[in-house]
Amino acid sequence: MRPKTGAFYIFITLVLLGLIAVSAYSLTQYLRLRENRRLVEQQLADEIQNILGHCRNQILRHPDYDLDSERLFVTSFAQAAPKDQVRDLDKLKAFSGELTEKLLLQAAGIKPGDDRWSEVVRYKTYSPNGFKDLHEQMDYPRVEQIQEVPAITGDPVADQRIVALAVRRGYRLRQQADEYALVSDGDHMLQEAAMGAWRELQSAARNEGIQLELVSGYRSVEHQRQIFLRELGRLALQTTGREYTAETIATGEADRWVEEVLQYSSIPGYSKHHSGYTIDISDPSQGHSFTDFEQTSGFVWISGRNYLNAKRFGFVPSYPIGADKQGPEPEPWEYVWVGLDRLRLEPERER
Ligand SMILES: [Zn+2]
């Protein structure tokens, strides 16, 4: 074989290898893209099914209302081709919002122009940060501002590190209830004003076919400390098989667990539950745990029209979806009593 032919064969082999490598790369890229698209499509399909299911439930729960055109819309949407459903997703969302609003007003027996129409619009509306600020400005009776940072693990360096991480997320020292002034309902204690308002809210919901339950009310600093440490311990054990120590916290090794717990649980002294004016609620009708409250009819009922049904009883969302740096991630199940006076546009006329 002459050297020239040898070089030629090497050249051809290299070209072929190159071609194979490029094709293999393109194929994996193509498969990855296809998989991503499939996931996005699946998410959209799930979202559509959720909204449709929710609309159907709302219609079913009100057999006495004239909802023929709404029923027709839901049926025809459900029968449309998946491609068309995705295209019309915004229409479906708008429809779902209007349906909720219509049922709310029908349930209250109110139509635009009615005498009581003004009652519907008598409450102020707030942005998510507006709700947050409203609570920050409250001057509650029967509480005291917590001045000193309570101990968490008991190790000063470790505690300082946890507090710094919490404060960075927007947690702040809260107010402590005078425990003797609280009233109790089963296992839960609340300030009297908040308890009365909660019971009224619960019975108004019940009258409209919505089941709401109190999951948590007043919580002492010590109780919050136990919850926080229990969650921290659970995470540490789950991820490493070992307990956390004050040292792992102090050196920052445990930061990721602390951060994770802070997403849903406060450190002691920094919880709004210490005041006795804050409630966690659930809608047990569909078997959801309270942390899935956002998926329930109860949430739709309480949050519709800028949380009208919460405001009617003096409550506002505690950590609303969309507010900045409020400590935990949004908690659709937590509400805080601020009183009707702050929420009404004008003082109430004689009842
Ligand atoms: Zn809570």
- Residue 167, domain CATH: 3.30.1380.10
Q: Which domain holds residue 277?
A: 123-343
Same domain, 204 and 308: yes
Which pLDDT value is given to residue 348?
45
**Neighbouring-strand partners of residue 123:** 344
Same domain, 99 and 219: no
Name the token pair of 152: 């968490």
Residue 68 has pLDDT above 70, yes or no: yes
pLDDT confidence bin for 318, thresholds 50/70/90: very high
Name the token pair of 197: 């308002």
Ligand 1 mean position, distance from CA 316 (Å): 13
Residue 2 has pLDDT above 70, yes or no: no
Same domain, 176 and 258: yes
Ligand 1 mean position, distance from CA 180 (Å): 21
Q: In this structure, what are the phi and psi dihedrals at residue 241, rounded to the nearest 5 degrees? A: 80, 5
CA 210 from chain center: how many Å?
19
116 falls within a domain: no
Could you tell me if 160 and 246 are in contact, meaning their C-beta atoms sit under 8 angstroms apart? no
Could you tell me if 209 and 300 are in contact, meaning their C-beta atoms sit under 8 angstroms apart? no
Element (H, E) at 48: helix 3-60
pLDDT confidence bin for 350, thresholds 50/70/90: very low
118 falls within a domain: no
CA quadruple 323, 328, 330, 335: dihedral sign: negative
Ligand 1 mean position, distance from CA 266 (Å): 9
> Which among 85, 87, 68 is positioned nearest to 77, based on CA atoms?
85
Could you tell me if 333 and 326 are in contact, meaning their C-beta atoms sit under 8 angstroms apart? no
Percent of the chain at pLDDT above 90?
66
Ligand 1 mean position, distance from CA 216 (Å): 7
Tracing tokens 């190159």 back to the chain, one arrives at 18
Ligand 1 mean position, distance from CA 45 (Å): 32
Q: How many CB atoms lie within 10 A of CB 193?
A: 17
Please, where are the H alpha helices in the chain? 3-60, 68-79, 82-87, 89-108, 117-120, 128-136, 156-168, 192-207, 221-240, 246-250, 255-262, 297-311, 340-343
pLDDT confidence bin for 204, thresholds 50/70/90: very high
Average pLDDT value for residue range 68-82: 94
Which pLDDT value is given to residue 276?
98
Same domain, 277 and 339: yes
Please, where are the H alpha helices in 177-245? 192-207, 221-240
349 falls within a domain: no
Ligand 1 mean position, distance from CA 279 (Å): 6
pLDDT in tens, 219-259: 999 999 999 999 999 999 998 888 889 999 999 999 999 99
Ligand 1 mean position, distance from CA 253 (Å): 28
Could you tell me if 268 and 224 are in contact, meaning their C-beta atoms sit under 8 angstroms apart? yes
117 falls within a domain: no
Ligand 1 mean position, distance from CA 24 (Å): 52
Tracing tokens 């229990």 back to the chain, one arrives at 230
Ligand 1 mean position, distance from CA 214 (Å): 11
Ligand 1 mean position, distance from CA 8 (Å): 75
Same domain, 158 and 244: yes
175 falls within a domain: yes
351 falls within a domain: no
Could you tell me if 158 and 165 are in contact, meaning their C-beta atoms sit under 8 angstroms apart? no
Which of 73, 108, 143 delimits the end of a domain? Answer: 108
Same domain, 212 and 299: yes
Cα-trace Rg, the chain: 28
282 falls within a domain: yes
Residue 208 has pLDDT above 70, yes or no: yes
Which pLDDT value is given to residue 140?
95
Ligand 1 mean position, distance from CA 141 (Å): 20
Same domain, 172 and 317: yes
| CA pair distance 159, 172, nearest whole angstrom | 15
Could you tell me if 152 and 225 are in contact, meaning their C-beta atoms sit under 8 angstroms apart? yes
Which pLDDT value is given to residue 344?
85
Same domain, 53 and 20: yes
27 falls within a domain: yes
Domain count across the chain:
2
Same domain, 236 and 162: yes
Question: Phi/psi zone of residue 110: left (φ > 0), alpha (ψ -120 to 50 degrees), beta?
Answer: beta
Same domain, 214 and 306: yes
Q: What is the rounded average pLDDT for all residues in the chain? A: 90
Same domain, 45 and 182: no
Same domain, 101 and 133: no
Ligand 1 mean position, distance from CA 280 (Å): 5
Ligand 1 mean position, distance from CA 318 (Å): 8
Ligand 1 mean position, distance from CA 144 (Å): 19
Residue 4 has pLDDT above 80, yes or no: no
Helix axes 89-108, 68-79, angle to 10 degrees: 160
Ligand 1 mean position, distance from CA 123 (Å): 24
Ligand 1 mean position, distance from CA 27 (Å): 49
Average pLDDT value for residue range 160-175: 97
Give this prediction's pTM. Answer: 0.67
